[in-house]
Structure 1
Amino acid sequence: MFLLTSKPLFLPLNFELSSLGFRSRLPRLLPVPGTSQMELLRKLGIKCCVSQSKNKKKNQKLEVIDSDSNAVSGEDVFDAVSAGAKVPPDHLVIMVNGIIGSSADWRYAAKQFVKRLPNKVIVHCSDCNSATLTFDGVDRMGERLAEEVVMIVKRWPEVSKISFIAHSLGGLVARYAIGRLYENVPIIHSSNLKENYANNLQQSLEELFEARIAGLQPVNFITVATPHLGSRGHRQLPFLCGLPFLERKAPQTAHWIVGRSGKHLFLTDNDNEGRPLLLQMVNDTENIKFMSALGSFKRRVAYANANYDQVVGWRTSSIRRQHELPESNLLVKDEKYPHIVYVEREISDAIQNGISSVDVSQNLEEEMIRGLTQVPWERVDVSFHKSTLRYTAHTTIQVKNYWLNSDGADVVLHMIDNFLL
């Protein structure tokens, strides 16, 4: 059964539900002959979409359509007109929420992506890890996300590319999930792959294969205020104010509040007497290719709050050492993106220092930095210093709720303008 609400997500077109005894509106979907819009909604299991009309009115009310309980969790956001075109969008964007979040956290950003790239992307806001399910730990959440992505890819067989955008803890969950979804598939240039290889004996084995995530070409991997280095250490959890006593106690008590996720964030987990999960995730393991998956994306970006984020520190969200953080005199103001204060392009330890391995582990944080920076990252530093919303920086950077976090709209715009298609 479909539930119609008045949450702001769609630009609706007329549709009658006379059998239910009332008149309402639903988005116009794919123009398939002999198939009603309701049948198509059921077939796709769609939870929501954006339908744009040439004659749309300003301030027109937006609507959300929720599907039945058998549908895949989460929300699909796409332009119904372009989805029904001869060449539909081929790029699937997976948006992942943070701790105690839900698919609704990314609604504003999802709508902006579809609005500005209407014939290019289909956005899925994941909901398999919402509310208290985010206490289950990065690994269990990552497994659920991987399963959800596989189901979404089956739902949209036209897509050939995939990108991830994840907020806070969701960034770690996405890193785990892509490790599960990673595979190498043969590159077939002719009907006989062996013949191709025989013609060039110097060709490496890697050149005969290409990386895929859930069977799709990986393009963008974007994290927003994600604690890549965990929350352990000086000012990695800013609301502790850097007080040594509180920072020593936090790892011992975090699991009481946020379950296994707390153990993973503070590196106190030792399942099966192994190393902490976040340390395992900076290298490939026998079963999960964490870094191969991360390295397969054409672009990796870490958006980080330079100040006022009380939940995730600047170092851990930007994957930097303390001395690598930009000095205040280097921060600039961009007229188009007033809260983007610093952009560092494609930097990695492997490029800067010629590091080819991560055997040296002076401490846990250093080992994670060296592991993660085996592949290049873009760092985008954000500051809401002059904003009245600065004390909600952790959610404002994502625009979790437009009415409460509208100052982060330029950050979302920056993501879209720099998004590789």
Structure 2
Amino acid sequence: MSKTIHLVVLLHGINGTSSELDYVKEQLIQHFDSDGVVFENPSINEGFTNDGCIKGAERIYDWIMKKKEEMNVGFISFVCHSLGGIYARAVIGMMYRDEVIPGRMMPMNYITLATPHLGARQHAHLGDTITGMVVKVICGPTVTELTLNDHPTKDGCLFSHLSDKHHIDSLGTFRNLVVYSNVSSDITVNYLTGAIRREHMDEDKGVKVVHDDRLEILKCKKVRIEDKLYTALNALPWKRFAVYPKRMLFAHTDMVTRKYGHHVVEHLLTQFYHPNKD
């Protein structure tokens, strides 16, 4: 019988390419070199990240199932940047639905870097109606979903679907749930949505990456869709890490690069669980 493989899938974000995660992949290979682990950053969503999160997730799901046919995949992990983390949540739900996990593959790591878990509606003060109209006309399905504008009442948006019991249960099968989020300077994904938080971290330029293990309590009278997503996702045992970026404005993409994100990737290596590790 062939050796059981731990397949680690690295997923890029919107308008991205698989090569963006080459440095992360390189470091993972160096630190977890084994004939029992395979690291792959598929290119199947390159050029197609604007056609909706579910379509992108379906392409990834089909790709994983083909890998399952090619090799004896017994363990599965995801390391994701930005939108890649949302794709993975949808894929994980599909795998759970079809009893691929945890029956045929054991879920190991779900690790995200600057993924908008609570959506990316960072300019809601402009007015949801106006913002929603502009997004739908100009940006297309994926951004409409990311800004929580894909349903007129906000109650049936994709992010609500990805935070229902089925999807929370599917994420809960993973041994290791880790999120990294930039404390500042990320103009695409702010700290709260990337870290699944309600309150910002204080800026401290003396550190690089810090464990955010604060206890938060909902105090606001009006509950937003983001609060509902937060409540659902916090049924899970997340490990949260606050990242203090090195450059202004470029923090979102810097997080996975050799020159400006090496401190993040080095930390990620300490959080990655491999069944043959140690």
Same-fold call, TM > 0.5?
A: yes
1:220 aligns with 2:109: yes
Aligned match for 2:201, one of 292, 303, 326: 326
The answer for the alignment partner of 2:272 in structure 1 is 419
Q: Which has the larger radius of gyration?
A: 1
CA RMSD of aligned residues (A): 2.9
Task: Decide whether the 8 Å contact of 2:4 with 2:74 is kept in 1.
Answer: no
SS at match of 1:134: coil
2:92 matched to which residue of 1?
178
| Equivalent in the alignment of 1:397 | 255
Cα deviation 1:184-215 (Å, max 9, x = unaligned): 86xxxxxxxxxxxxxxxxxxxxxxxxx82582
1:303 and 2:180 are equivalent in the alignment: yes
1:127 corresponds to which residue?
43
- Is the 2:135–2:143 contact (alpha carbons within 8 Å) kept by the matching residues of 1? yes
Give the aligned partner of residue 211 of structure 2. Answer: 343
* Aligned residue type for 1:218: P
Q: Which runs of 5+ in 2 are unaligned?
A: none
Match of 1:153 in 2: 68
Partner in structure 1 of residue 144 of structure 2: 263
Equivalences for residues 73-88 of structure 1 within 5 A: none
**What CA deviation, in whole Å up to 9, does each residue of 1:367-386 have, x standing for no partner?**
000011111111111112xx
Q: Deviations along 1:31-85, whole A, 9 cap, x unmatched?
A: xxxxxxxxxxxxxxxxxxxxxxxxxxxxxxxxxxxxxxxxxxxxxxxxxxxxxxx
Deviation at 1:99, TM superposition (A): 0.2
Q: Counterpart of 2:67 in structure 1: which amino acid? A: I
Q: Displacement of 1:87 after TM fit?
A: 8.6
2:202 is matched by which residue type in structure 1?
E
Q: Which deviates more from structure 2 when the two are superposed, residues 301-310 or residues 261-270?
A: 261-270
Alignment TM-score, normalising by the size of structure 1: 0.59
Counterpart amino acid of 1:124? E
Instruction: Give the secondary-structure state (helix, strand or coil) at the position aligned to 2:49.
Output: helix
1:38-187 equivalences in 2 (<5 Å): 90-119=5-34, 121-131=37-47, 133-157=48-72, 159-182=73-96
Matched, 1:375 2:232: no
In the alignment, the residues of structure 2 paired with residue 290 and residue 218 of structure 1 have an alpha-carbon distance, to the nearest angstrom, of 14
Amino acid at match of 1:299: N
2:155–2:225 CA contact under 8 A, matched in 1: no
Query: 2: CA distance between counterparts of 1:417 and 1:363?
Result: 35
Residues 270-326 of structure 1, C-alpha deviations (whole Å, 9 max, x = no match): 39x971110111113xxxx3111101001111110111111111111111112xx33
Q: Is the 8 A contact 1:348 1:377 kept in 2?
A: no
The verdict on how the C-alpha distance between 1:139 and 1:409 changes in structure 2, with shifts beyond 3 A counting, is: same
Deviation of 1:114 after TM superposition, in Å, equals: 0.7
Name the CA distance, whole Å, in 1 between partners of 2:144 and 2:16: 19
Identity of aligned residues (%): 27
1:74 match: none
Aligned partner letter, 1:301: V
1:391: how far off?
2.4
Q: Distance in 2 between matches of 1:161 and 1:305?
A: 29
Distance in structure 2 (CA, Å) of the matches to 1:179 and 1:104? 26
* Distance in 2 (alpha carbons) for counterparts of 1:252 and 1:420: 43
CA distance in 1, matches of 2:170, 2:188: 27
Contact 1:149–1:214, Cα closer than 8 Å, also in 2: no
Give 2:253's aligned amino acid.
T
CA-CA distance at 1:263 after TM superposition: 1.5
| TM-score normalized with structure 2 length | 0.87
